[in-house]
Amino acid sequence: MFTGIVEEVGKVVSVKAKGDGKVFSIKAKRVFEDLKVEDSIAVDGVCQTVFEIKGDVFDVFAMSETLKKTTLRDLKTGDIVNLERALTLSTRLGGHLVQGHIDGVGIVEGLKRQSNTYLLDIRIPPEFEKFVVLHGSIAVNGVSLTVARKRGSLITVSLIPYTLENTSLKILRRGSRLNIETDIVGKYLYQFFKKEASFRKFSE
């Protein structure tokens, strides 16, 4: 489990095919404070397991299913990625509860400055629209953000300059692909009420 508060931006130094998946070697600094083999770490919002550490570089393996559902399949040597270690019971929950299980990939439709913030327009997969609530939380490339506007499957999130400059979101362009994880609470509630409605219909 994560919070969506990015700790640092790492750099992909190697991408190697392994079976039907890929091994990513990522150079970082801050996350090495207590990083160990078998620890979970979010890479652009995707929960991965560290399987090797070599100096200031750690390796993760993304299986084929992960590559199909996330932007990790697009990563290449030299790319930057958002990094966050798994939260602990003593961690301040500055963002929101993020699993690192990506729902789908969104597409950037626009980024514009408004006063002291930036507005980022993202087209999300229509099937996940029902889990997005106005002023609710959403994780974009592992960054905890608030939904400022919602028009069908087109959502707008606001970014303060600090977030834009200190995450991989700073390299976004129109057409960029983003990992999207909708709020876990919304998904649980949707599932609960869906089953409740089915039960009532069956009982009548």
Q: What is the pLDDT of residues 126-154, one digit of tens each?
A: 999 999 999 999 999 999 999 999 999 99
Quote the percentage of the chain above a pLDDT of 70.
95
Record the pTM.
0.90
The contacts of residue 111 (CB under 8 Å, 6+ apart) are 118, 119, 120, 121, 172, 173, 174
Q: DSSP readout, 1-44? A: -B-S---EEEEEEEEEEETTEEEEEEE-SGGGGS--TT-EEEET
Q: Give the separation between CA 156 and CA 146, rounded to whole angstroms.
A: 9
CB atoms within 10 A of CB 73: 15
Residue 200 has a pLDDT of 57
Q: Each residue of 82-92: pLDDT tens digit?
A: 999 998 877 77
What are the tens digits of pLDDT across the range 42-74?
A: 999 999 999 999 999 999 999 999 999 999 999
Tell me the chain's radius of gyration from C-alpha atoms: 18
Q: Given this model, what pLDDT does residue 82 score? A: 98
Domains and CATH numbers, the chain: 8-85 (2.40.30.20), 104-190 (2.40.30.20)
